[in-house]
Structure formats: C-alpha cells, structure tokens
Amino acid sequence: MTAAAPGLPAPARTENALALGILRQPGTVLFGPGQRRQVPRLVAGFARHALLVTDARMAASAEFAALADGLRDAGVAVEVYDGTLAELPRENVMELVERFRDRPIDVVIGIGGGSCLDLAKVSAVVLARGGDVRELYGEFLVPGPGIPVVTVPTTGGTGAEVTCISVIYDAERGMKVGVASPHLEAAVAVIDPELTLSCPPGLTAATGADALSHLVEAFTGRAKNPGPEQLASTLYAGKNLLTDVYARAGLERLASSLPAVVADPADLAARTDTMFASYCAGMAINTAGTAGAHAIQSPIGNLTHTPHGFGVSALLPYVMRYNLPARVPEFAEIGSLLGVADPGASELERAKAGIVGVESLLEVLGAPTDLAALGLDPADFGFVADQALLATRLTANNPRELTRAAVLEILERGHAGDRGWWSL
C-alpha cells in the first residue's frame, strides 16, 4: 500500500480483534437549549452547599448570576471561585483548595470552558482527599471518589464535561500533565448550546478545531485489544466499537455546523449541532484518547503561548498525512462522513479527500494550518520532539509509531506548510 519515508518506521495497522466496546461517562447527561435552568433542581436533589468554579468572564455574565440565584432559591448555599486561567496552571488548583478546604462543600459545579471544567473535576478530588495534586499525576492514581461534580460547558469544543481527565500546566516541570481516573467523571453534565452564543469568534474557532481534532484522532487512533488488567489500570483502552459510534456522529454534524456557525454566530441550530459534536468527541476520546497532534502540541503551546485548539489545528494536516498509511479505510470513511469523497474513487483517493475535507473545515474556521503561523522557531524542533515523546499516554494512541525522526519530519513539513503526500 504505502511505504515508509526513509528513516521512518514502516506503517502497521492495528485492528479491534476483540470487537471491544467501552465507554466511561457521567451518570446523567442533559442536553439541549435552555437546559442550564434545570441545574438548581438537579443539584438540590443531592447537595446543600455548592462551589461554583468559573473564570472572570463567565462570572460577570447574566447567565452565571441567574444560575447562582437559582441555586440559592432552591435552598443551596453558593460559594464562587472565579480565578480560573487558560491552560489551567497548577497554582489555580492550589489556590482553590486552600481557600475552600474547610468549607462544607458537597457539590462542585464547573461552568465555563475546558479549564474551568478540568479545575472543577480535579479540585473536587483534592478537596475530598487532601494532599497535593502532584500526587495524582498519571493514570488511575486517584484512590477514591471526590465530591460530586456537575459540569456546565460554555464552549463547543473541549468535551471536558464528559471526560475523566484534567490537564494541568505545571510550571516547575515546564509541561502539561494529566490527572486521569474514572473518579474524575462528572455525576451530571448539563450541556446547553445557548451558553455558546456569546462565545467570541476566536474562541469559537479554537474550540471548534479542538473538537474536530478529537473526532479525527479518536476515529483513526490505535486499536489496542486490552486485557482485563489493562482495562483496570489504563484510561485509554483504544479505538473501539462504541467510540467509533460517537466519532461518526460528531464528524457528520461538524461537516455542516462549523461552516454555519462561522456564517452566522447567532445560529442556535448550528451552535446546537456543534456542541453535540463536541459532546460526541468527548465521549470518544474518553476511552480512545487523543494522539500525535495533541502530544506534539503541548510543548509548542508552552513555547508559543498559543491556544490549544489552534496548536492542534496547525499540526493536524501533517499528522494525518503521516498516519494515513496505517488508517486508509478510516480516512476514506471520514471523506464519506464529511460528504467530500467521490464514492466511485479508490479507497486511497477517498482517504486523501477525507484529509483535505478536514483541512477545509479548519480553514473555514480561520484556524491556522501551519506551524509558522504559531510563531514556532525551527531552532526549537528538537526540544519539541523530545518533549512530545514524553507524553506516552498520548503517543501510545497514535495509529503509527512516533519516533523522534517522525516528529521532526512532521514539524519540518508543518512549518513549511508542505501538504504534499508522504512517499507512496
């Protein structure tokens, strides 16, 4: 089919030979326009003292005030932490826990973008169990459940409302780290597309690109065929039957909803479809995981201080091309799901059409599709490659083995904007 480029590992295809299907998900998911108004009723059924975790922009909104007032009217005391910062620095976790550790909090409600939701999930565990969040870095290291969490996303992209991982930037380590455990799963996720109507265009573009990258990486990721011990100790069990269902549904929605949102940011139907696709992406990556683009983006984001969604969008065209030899049928199906592949063409041509279709959606969003646009200095390629390969939780999901040479070539092609096909 396809030969490896000189010096790079030959492509190998993995199959879900076990016909495995696995999902991890919140106990309750409530989706639809206006559904945020049900949060007070839901919370009052099991809690009396809520901590609302958000950022300064959301805390100043009428929607946030209405939610807090609704909780109080339902007999729930309300505390607020509104200091969440982008990319979730560890200091946010430390500050929140220090401020509220002695309060009788019995529910943590995260409302906002991915960092707000990640902070709510991880701080609920640290508040309940004590200690330093650093003790929880890694997979399955959370010893037990935390305070119940309710997630209310305000962006259509991260899927953090349904994932059981929180990503934290640890400045002393100079890298992002994950706290990954089923104990971080929200008790309730309330997904209201109306909350995305006020999303600024730049944030809409970055989160839309993030959702698209999640769907592509989950659908084309590695199938692992894990045994019982692996399932009990590894968050990312690999691409499987159930994650594929969500990935397909999400890709179909984004094909039409992303252009519609760009054309009219007030189009609630398009916002609804985009947020549903983001939810599907979260459900897919919760067990399939993200892969190469996310592993390489993390050190690039640290160097360039660019949004996560724009980092993965700039990498995705080149990572997809690298992965194509190991995932031709999946990329061909993406071409069909996006409505861009000629049914009469060969499977390889349909796969290439799928990749170009993904790139076209990124371009419609106005997301960058090359690394020079992020300001990445080629002198840093070696550092980026070394750091990316440390993210084994992510690189293990890539459908084709990632070596240092492979990452360097992805970076070189990505910086040059070289969208030629790798040697066939």
CA–CA dist 257, 361 (Å, integer): 10
What per-residue confidence (pLDDT) applies to 202?
Answer: 93
If pLDDT is split at 50, 70 and 90, which confidence band does 2 have?
Answer: very low
- The string of pLDDT tens digits covering residues 282-295 is 999 999 999 999 99
If pLDDT is split at 50, 70 and 90, which confidence band does 322 have?
Answer: very high
Out of 154-158, 213-217, 416-420, pick the least confident: 154-158
- The string of pLDDT tens digits covering residues 204-231 is 999 999 999 999 999 999 999 999 999 9
Q: Give the whole-number percent of the chain exceeding pLDDT 90.
A: 93
- The string of pLDDT tens digits covering residues 339-376 is 999 999 999 999 999 999 999 999 999 999 999 999 99
If pLDDT is split at 50, 70 and 90, which confidence band does 175 have?
Answer: confident
Q: How far is CA 222 from CA 76, 219, 397, 398, 418, in A?
A: 45, 9, 5, 6, 25
Q: Is the pLDDT of residue 6 over 80?
A: no
**What's the mean pLDDT in 73-91?**
96
Distance of CA 314 to the CA centre of its chain: 16
In what helix (H) or strand (E) does residue 168 lie, and over which residues does it extend?
Answer: strand 165-170
Longest Cα separation, the chain: 67
Which domains are assigned to the chain? 35-191 (3.40.50.1970), 201-416 (1.20.1090.10)
Q: Is the pLDDT of residue 75 over 70?
A: yes
Q: Is the pLDDT of residue 5 over 70?
A: no
What per-residue confidence (pLDDT) applies to 9?
Answer: 77
- The string of pLDDT tens digits covering residues 163-172 is 999 999 999 9
Q: Which amino acid does the sequence have at 167?
A: V
CA atoms within 13 A on the CB side of 25: 16
Q: Is 360 helix (H, G, I), strand (E, B) or coil?
A: helix
pTM of the predicted model, to two decimals? 0.95
If pLDDT is split at 50, 70 and 90, which confidence band does 12 have?
Answer: confident
**What's the mean pLDDT in 397-413?**
97
Averaged confidence pLDDT in the chain: 95
Query: Quick one: which of 42, 49, 41 has its CA closest to 27?
Result: 42
Q: Give the whole-number percent of the chain exceeding pLDDT 70.
A: 98
What per-residue confidence (pLDDT) applies to 294?
Answer: 97
What per-residue confidence (pLDDT) applies to 424?
Answer: 57
Compute the Cα dihedral for 295, 298, 299, 300 and give only its sign: positive
What per-residue confidence (pLDDT) applies to 280?
Answer: 98
* DSSP result, 229-290: HHHTT-S--BS-HHHHHHHHHHHHHHHHHHHHHHH-TT-HHHHHHHHHHHHHHHHHHHHH--
Cβ neighbours, 10 Å, residue 353: 21
**What's the mean pLDDT in 401-407?**
97
